[in-house]
Chain A
């Protein structure tokens, strides 16, 4: 069983609408959680990082939250744009080594329609 589960698997929204993507993890110990955006045919790009002590962090129209007690994170996208169409991947790092092992979710495929 994957230690990082993302939902929904796919999502279609209209341009201008908001949406929230979910990431639940069982990774322990926990170091940090990153959200990546992967455009079709491209490599993933980091959007934001959440550490144990952080609850909320914003990056433009993207706002990530973290509840380390329930091991849940969300990525909220405000006023969606066509360019937001992409796969959003949740990645959790443990503290097992200098860098930490990385656990990848399968991603949420977001499609924004005009």
Chain B
């Protein structure tokens, strides 16, 4: 079992609301990621971090923002949610390093399913 946790698991909110999706891991991984997943589609990387105070935008443009103040914590925030933000958001982490079979393996949380009405 991976030690990475996401809250809330499910969230239904109205348009214009501010939301924060929480993600925490206890594995000491430097690298953390946020992916967006829609039914029948591939995962899209929206944000990633290689360590404290390091955040980068991913391949998919997103209006969300992230922060990495502590190694174990990587929250995602939407200042003003819209129906187009309705999706499944998956947080993941991975070990650092360039060799070894575990390098590059992503450990995922169980996801946060967001519905914006």
Give chain A's interface residues, CB within 8 Å of chain B.
2, 4, 9, 31-32, 34, 36, 41-46, 49, 89, 91, 93, 98-100, 102, 104-107
Contacts and interface: CB of A to CB of B under 8 A. Distances in A.
| Chain B residues touching A, majority SS | loop
Most buried by B among A34, A41, A100: A41
A106 B40 contact: yes
B105 A4 contact: no
A93 B45 CA distance: 14
Interface stretch (B13-21, B61-69, B76-84, B107-115): B107-115
Contacts of B105: 34, 46, 49
Interface string B19-50: 00000000000010000000011111100000
A45 to B, nearest CB: 7
Contacts, number: 54
Contacts of B41: 106
12 contacts: A41-B111, A43-B2, A43-B4, A43-B109, A44-B43, A44-B106, A49-B105, A93-B104, A98-B98, A99-B94, A106-B40, A106-B41
A36 B104 CA distance: 13
Contacts of B111: 41-43
Contact of A49 (B42, B92, B101): B101
B108 A32 contact: no
Contacts of B109: 43
10 closest Cβ contacts across the A-B interface?
A: A43-B108, A104-B42, A104-B43, A106-B42, A46-B105, A43-B110, A44-B108, A42-B110, A43-B109, A43-B90
Nearest to A6: B42
Nearest to B59: A101
B2 A105 contact: no
Nearest to B44: A104
A105 B37 CA distance: 12
Nearest to B108: A43
Contacts of A4: 42
Most buried by A among B40, B42, B45, B106: B42
